[in-house]
Structure 1
Amino acid sequence: MPKRFQSVEARKLIQVSLKTNDLREARLLTGKMRADLHSEWEGRLNGSASPAAYPPDHLDMTLEATEAAYSRIRPKLENLAKQQELDNQQAYDAYLRKLRNTRDDFLRAKACKPLSVWSDLADRRISKNNWILPQGSEGYDTFVDMIAEAAIEAFNIEIARREGQFAAEPSSLVVKAGLKAKDDTAKDGETILDLFDRYAAQRLAEGRKREDGITQDRKVIDSFAKFVGPRKSIKGLTPADIRDWRDTLAALPPTYQKAKAYEGLSMRQAAAKAKAIGAKTISPVTVNKHLSTLSPFLGWCVTNAYADRNPCDGLFFGIVKGKNPRPPFSKGQLEKIFASSLFTGFLREGQEHKPGIQRADDWRYWIPIVCLFTGARVGEIAQLRIEDIQLDDGIPFLLIRHDESTGQRTKSGASRVCPIHSELKRIGFLSFVERQRSRANGKATCQLFPELEPNERGHIGAKPSRFWRDYLKRIGVKSGNDGLGAHSFRHTMADALRTAGYLDDEIEVALGHNQKTVTAGYGRVRQGTVKRINTMLEAITHSYISFSK
């Protein structure tokens, strides 16, 4: 028990079985439990251990009235009938008369002055839920009246069924709405976020998701849960709920949560404000990305019997497939890029796009050039360590490493080799590696680009990616949302290899794409030796570009 909370928690040690032998799932559950406990203890310290009091809305009162009266009385009446000796018509008629008389007494009491039992029940429910609903107020009288109506309906249904109407269903608006609300309310431990925690734990255990991916997914699911209601039952979700969330998303401005103009507003309020002022909204592609997070989770809920169907089906925006969102650079664009000031001399830090005499010898200079000659992803180059520059049969190569223990990752989840092009050697990349080794006092496990750090999502390539997009705009190569960026070097390499005569199944090996063939699953040696890929890359030349270093 943390010392901070020992004054409000008598237990010195809390031991709980998480009912799992999976370490990843246990960590996830432990983190959530710890957060919940700390929140509870903070509340006690601040004198607010119970939830903040609030005035109930009409649906709150409807649900509580149905639960307090109808749902409690119905099973009691059924048990009462079982206890009676109703073995002849006379006894049966007497039982029915008793039910009718009680029901009629309730009706008279409801029309005149509510019975004290209903007021007492209302008081207990108000206290339990910490509602602001003072006696004598209009809301209080409405709640007591709802309880009375729900109690009377319990008798109506029992009488109807004893009279032979076995399929009798409630006709009371209060009870009908209350039962629907109950069906739409999640059971304890089965809220949207509760189930997402189980989904996340399973995906982590299966290796189908990474921690940073789960973190981003949770933001989407949390936003959805707030939109439909945190207690909304997964089984009660309808396509209309998904449609409303999707359309509200589509009306929101990009990054509206960070804009002061929308601070404190709900999604619906922010969307309404954006529409009123004619603000730019997020793209259908982005909306579909949110749906692509929600839909697999709801599909998992169906598979695991928490829901009967996936309400996302058919609600994705119909975006035309086949567009290339990351186009390759043209020859003219490459010439302009590498003749620009970052590579020939710039003014000062933060003004790399303006000509000057300052020269860079860090990630700003080397990452785009390495991406050009390897086709590797910017994050894969940004995460390199000095020890990842290796030699095989006289050929220097980069080990594009996937190793969770060092925090290095590839999209495919597998390490691969990438030979260092002869032009990269000529420009001086290997000399740069040696300079970095010297600066690190020979410690090979140090980062090749030590200035780079992972962002809040754990992505070390975020900073160079953002820098490069901004730089391309400043030198007039990139315009708006044309898709050009660091990833365009990868597409440039793919086209260059095709032009050199290689087929796509060979190119995917050089670029490190997953090979989804039967043969790819055989053996342990990964496709593409250093020598083979080196031959492919050396077929690529950029003689029209002048590199000066």
Structure 2
Amino acid sequence: MKRPGSTFHQLVQRIPADIAGRAVGMRLAIPVGDETADILITPGRKDIRTSLRTRDPREARERQAVAVAYLEAVWRSVREGPRRLTHKEAVALAGEAYRTLVERVEDDPGPVEGWAIREAQNLQAEFGKFGFGRAGLKIGVGEAERRRESLEELLGPVADGFLSRRGLIIDAESRARLLEQLLSADRQASLLNLRRAEGDYSPDSEAGRFPAFPEATKATSSVNLLDLFDGWARERKPSQSTVDQWRKHCESFLAFLGKDDAGQVTKTDVVRWKDALVAAGGSPKTINDSKLAALRVAFEWGARNVRVSSNPAAGVAVAFKVRLQDRMQGFDDVEAAAILNAAARETRPAIRWLPLLCATTGARVGEMAQLRGEDVITKDGIAAVRITAEAGSVKNAGSERTVPLHPAVLEAGFMVFVGDRKGPLFFNAERRKADAKKPSHKIVAKNVASWVKELGLETGRAHRKDPSHAWRHRFKTLARAAGINDSVADAIVGHAPDSVAKAYGTVTLATMRDAIARIPVPR
């Protein structure tokens, strides 16, 4: 969504009711691109809101996926309660703090005096003599307690930052262990930066002592990725073609990986597969929106249903920019007239009517190809077609709509063609083979595209004009030229509103009829 008065996309997620009380006081470090959004959960707070710091919808979706995965891990940690950090995990987190402190000032470490002061503070904390807020002025405090409170005062905020970045909630013993390791790492980094400030850039011989933080994706028992995908498919109920295609993508990933335990899959595994797909010449859009999307939904379902501990595919995507010269276009008047005139001479119902229906509604060809006789209606004296999931498949919930018929469609005799027919208008469902996988309406759509190509027009991706989808681009262009409000045009073609404000209210059938009548049909 977008915040009122801002062009940036925004993430909004409700704090789960079952952990709202326990989450109070937590500091979140939500990953947003290369930065973090630091948020404190205060009493009474109901949701998490932060800017995704981008205007690009694709980048916003990618950043949202990473942020949501982070928040889900945080909520899971709250539900499970404080966990124990192993010694290796504590050293690994300290290593992250070390690298941050070193890399941030690598090219310009600043004056020697600053790092000398930092080293003095570390020594004060080590001997329990740092700070005035917690331990410095206390009397009668034991040496161990004074040391612990000194470390907390100096390095507690650092610990909070790195724990919140990973959504970790740890017990008191683990926090003490982490503070000790942070002190060691901070001393190592401070002394290195001091040498660099003096002009000594020789390598840090101990930099490699920090291990990587263990990937927290291991499940308690073996879980098959395909089982996760099937669980998602049963609940989400996408079209069968999507299920078939995306399941194959999951199978391809498993074949690439050589193992089938979803709980053992790491983000590195997913990135390696993504890189292999790019190296093989795969389309960035196909990789992001189909192949990686299949993994994302499967793992996300698994994480939400406590089959795996996290979603390693969250945030993994091919970075690319759509160039202006690559954007698809609509048919021009000459091309549109050639197709519609040729269709008018056809006797095959799909070829005769689908180009005209798409040209005058801006609908997807699949939506029109699956029309049934009962989907052609007259409401309030307005002839219209209903696009509904009952007829086949729709892209999303917003795609279900009722669209008035253009006067040119009525003049051509479409209502006479429909008559009192029931069932699919453009294919015979009884002739479908029992083992057929591709839906009949998609076969029809493919046949229409092949027919358009046979007309000799310059269509296809090389010419930036899809044989059927170019009608959709053309419709939006003509709608703008006719002065049709964007919200009305969106309601006709089934585009989701681009803001919450535009989602309020409805566009009436009469309003859409008047708008559609203003769309010219070339002769």
State TM-score, norm by structure 2.
0.51
Aligned match for 1:222, one of 240, 245, 251: 251
Show the counterpart of 2:277. Answer: 249
Structure 2 match to 1:411: 396
2:412 — aligned with what? 427
Residues 412-491 of structure 1: matches in 2 within 5 Å?
A: 412=397, 415-434=400-419, 437=420, 444-451=421-428, 456-457=436-437, 459-481=439-461, 482-491=464-473
Structure 1 residues without counterparts, runs of 5 or longer: 1-182, 253-280, 345-358, 438-443
Q: 1:20 matched to which residue of 2? A: none
Q: Which residue identity lines up with residue 320 of structure 2 in the other structure?
A: I
Question: What 5-or-longer segments of structure 2 have no aligned partner?
Answer: 1-215
1:190 aligns with 2:172: no
Deviation at 1:519, TM superposition (A): 6.7
Q: What is the total number of aligned residue pairs between the two structures? A: 301
The amino acid across from 1:492 in the alignment is: R
Q: State the partner residue of 1:500.
A: 482
Return the alpha-carbon distance in structure 1 between the equivalents of residues 263 and 393 of structure 2: 39
Is 2:523 the partner of 1:541?
no
Shift of 1:508: 0.8
Partner of 2:386: 399
State the secondary structure of the residue aligned to 2:484.
coil
Which residue of 317, 334, 353 corresponds with 1:332? 334
SS of 1:461's equivalent? helix
Q: What code does the residue aligned with 1:420 have?
A: L
Distance 1:219 1:396 in 2: 42
Per-residue deviation, 1:189: 5.1
Greater share of strand residues, 1 or 2?
A: 2
Superposition pairs of residues 86-485 of structure 1, within 5 angstroms = 188=221, 190-204=223-237, 209-232=238-261, 234-252=262-280, 281-288=281-288, 289-304=290-305, 306-307=307-308, 309-313=310-314, 315-321=316-322, 325-340=327-342, 342-344=343-345, 359-403=346-390, 407=392, 409=394, 411-412=396-397, 415-434=400-419, 437=420, 444-451=421-428, 456-457=436-437, 459-481=439-461, 482-485=464-467
Q: How does 1:2-17 map to 2 (within 5 A)?
A: none
Pair 247,518 (structure 1): closer, same or farther in 2 beyond 3 Å: closer
- How far 1:497 sits from its partner (Å)? 0.9
Measure, in 1, the Cα distance between the counterparts of 2:331 and 2:304.
44
Deviations 1:426-464 (A, max 9, x none): 222222223xx4xxxxxx423222347779455343123
- Paired with 2:380 and 2:331, the residues of 1 have a C-alpha distance of 33
Aligned residues of 2:453 and 2:459 also touching (Cα < 8 A):
yes
* Higher relative contact order, structure no. (Cα contacts within 8 Å, ≥ 6 residues apart): 2
Q: Which residue of 2 aligns with 1:514?
A: 496
Counterparts of 1:185 and 1:296 in 2: how far apart (Å)?
18
Identity of aligned residues (%): 27
Q: TM-score, normalised by structure 1?
A: 0.48
What's the CA shift string for 1:128-164, capped at 9, x where partnerless? xxxxxxxxxxxxxxxxxxxxxxxxxxxxxxxxxxxxx
Contact 2:367 2:394 (C-alpha < 8 Å) held by counterparts: yes
| Partner residue, 1:166 | none
AA of the residue aligned to 2:251: D
**Displacement of 1:385:** 1.6
| Secondary structure of residue in 2 paired with 1:366 | helix
CA contact 2:354–2:368 (8 Å) conserved in 1: yes
C-alpha deviation, 1:193, in angstroms: 2.4
Cα deviation code 1:453-510 (max 9, x no counterpart): 7794553431233223323333232345234221211121111111111232221112
Q: Conserved in 1, the CA contact under 8 Å of 2:219 and 2:307?
A: no
Q: C-alpha distance in 1, partners of 2:221/2:482?
A: 61
Q: Indicate how the Cα distance of structure 1 residues 461 and 411 shifts in structure 2: closer, same or farther if over 3 A, else same.
A: farther
Q: Secondary structure at the match of 1:360?
A: coil
What is the distance in 2 between the residues matched to 1:375 and 1:304? 39
CA distance in 1, matches of 2:444, 2:427: 13
Q: Return 491-500 or 374-383, whichever deviates more.
A: 374-383
* Structure of higher CA gyration radius: 1
Residue identity in the other structure for 1:470: S
- Whole-Å separation in 2 of the counterparts to 1:296 and 1:184: 16
Does the CA-based 8 Å contact 1:379-1:460 persist in structure 2? Answer: no
Per-residue deviation at 1:366? 0.9
How many Å apart are 1:314 and its aligned residue?
A: 5.3
Q: 1:473 to 1:202 in 2, by over 3 A?
A: closer
Change (3 A) 1:381 1:454: farther
Asked whether the 8 Å contact 2:460–2:466 carries over to 1, the reply is: no
Measured after TM superposition, the shift of residue 408 of structure 1 is 5.8
Q: Secondary structure of 2:385's match? A: strand
Supply the distance in 1 between the matched residues of 2:217 and 2:401 (Cα, whole angstroms). 49
Q: Show the counterpart of 1:3.
A: none
Cα deviation digits, residues 518-544 of structure 1 (max 9, x gap): 57877xxx82322111100011112xx
Cα shift readout 1:342-398 (whole Å, capped 9, x = no counterpart): 544xxxxxxxxxxxxxx4241111111111112122122112122222222332111
User: How far apart are the structure 2 equivalents of 1:450 and 1:231?
Assistant: 40
Offset of residue 320 of structure 1: 0.8
Provide the C-alpha distance between the structure 2 equivalents of 1:485 and 1:454, rounded to a whole number of angstroms: 25
- The AA in structure 1 aligned to 2:396 is K
Change (3 A) 1:245 1:432: same
Conserved in 1, the CA contact under 8 Å of 2:362 and 2:471?
yes
Q: Which amino acid aligns with 2:489?
A: I
Whether the 8 Å CA contact 2:399–2:495 is kept in 1: the answer is: no
Q: 1:216 to 1:486 in 2, by over 3 A?
A: same
Partner of 2:163: none
Alignment RMSD (CA, Å): 3.3
Q: Distance in 1 between matches of 2:311 and 2:219?
A: 17
Closer/same/farther in 2, CA of residues 191 and 394 from structure 1, 3 Å limit = closer
Contact in 2 for aligned 1:379/1:459 (Cα 8 Å): no
- For 2:409, the aligned partner's letter is L
For residues 210 and 193 of structure 1, do their structure 2 counterparts lie closer, same or farther at Cα, with a shift above 3 Å needed? same
The answer for the alignment partner of 1:108 in structure 2 is none
CA contact (8 A) 2:369 2:441 kept: yes
Change (3 A) 1:216 1:428: same
- Please report how far the alpha carbon of residue 317 of structure 1 lies from its aligned counterpart in structure 2 after TM superposition: 1.6
Once residues 308 and 186 of structure 1 are traced to their aligned partners in structure 2, the CA distance between those partners, rounded to angstroms, is: 6
Distance 2:317 2:335 in 1: 35
More off after superposition, 447-456 vs 223-232 = 447-456
Q: 2:427, 2:444 within 8 Å by CA — same for their partners in 1?
A: no
